[in-house]
């Protein structure tokens, strides 16, 4: 009978089987290394570009003129394992019939999420309702996303969150 334990020392494998298992191990190791290395290298080299995508954030009639509300949308290119972190948000201000401004949810100082204070007409960290810096420490105005109205829907052109 041929198989495990049939060699001269009682433990040797068939040479063909040994070669097959060695090749299988090398192939599995190579695949595992590529699965880890390719995304890491493309990230480090900046080769992975998130596409800019128009995302619907609500019907036009959902927003009252003069108000600022938080809207949520899906990241343009979420990683397969991103889960709930693939969702992001923006502050959407309706200033006229078809006039909207969308601000990044993150402060330009350290990237902390902003809060909108309607009573004070301010974003905290302090920025005015139009995104200009009201006082330090934010180094510059809030980042804006392009906004458009299409077929009764308000849409935001997504882009990677700018890190300052
Ligand atoms: S994160 Fe906004 S002022 Fe520091």
Structure confidence by residue, pLDDT tens digits, 6-30: 444 556 678 888 899 999 999 999 9
Distance (angstroms) between ligand 1 centre and the Cα of 127 equals 10
Q: What is the pLDDT of residue 95?
A: 93
Does residue 47 register a pLDDT over 80?
A: no
110 lines ligand 1 (CB under 6 A): yes
* Pair type for strands 67-74 and 87-94: antiparallel
Count how many Cα atoms sit within 13 Å of the Cα of residue 81 in the half-sphere of its side chain: 1
Nearest atom in ligand 1 to the alpha carbon of residue 111 is 1
Would you state the pLDDT for residue 38? 81
Distance 72 CA to ligand 1 centre (A): 21
Residue 131 Cβ < 6 Å to ligand 1: no
Higher pLDDT, 67 or 36: 67
CA distance 29 to 35: 10
Task: Give per-residue pLDDT as tens, 125-159.
Answer: 898 899 999 998 899 999 999 999 999 999 999 87
Q: How far is the CA of 109 from the centre of ligand 1 (A)?
A: 5
Query: 154, 92 in Cβ contact below 8 A?
Result: yes
Say if ligand 1 is within 6 A of residue 109 CB: yes
Dihedral (CA of 141, 146, 149, 154) sign: negative
């Amino acid at each position: 009978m041929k198989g495990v334990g049939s060699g001269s020392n009682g433990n040797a494998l068939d040479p063909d089987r040994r070669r097959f298992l060695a090749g299988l191990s090398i192939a599995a190791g190579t695949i595992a290394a590529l699965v880890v290395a390719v995304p890491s290298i493309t990230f480090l080299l900046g080769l992975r570009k998130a596409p800019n995508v128009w995302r619907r954030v609500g019907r036009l009639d959902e927003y009252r003129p003069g108000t600022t509300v938080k809207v949520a949308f899906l990241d343009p290119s979420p990683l397969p394992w991103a889960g709930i972190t693939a969702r992001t948000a923006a502050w959407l201000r309706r200033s006229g019939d078809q006039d909207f401004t969308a601000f990044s949810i993150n402060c330009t100082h350290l990237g902390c999420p902003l809060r909108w204070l309607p009573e004070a007409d301010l974003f905290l960290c302090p920025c005015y309702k139009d995104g200009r810096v009201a006082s330090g420490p934010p180094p510059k105005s809030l980042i804006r996303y392009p906004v458009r109205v299409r077929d009764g829907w308000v849409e935001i052109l997504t882009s990677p969150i700018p890190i300052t």
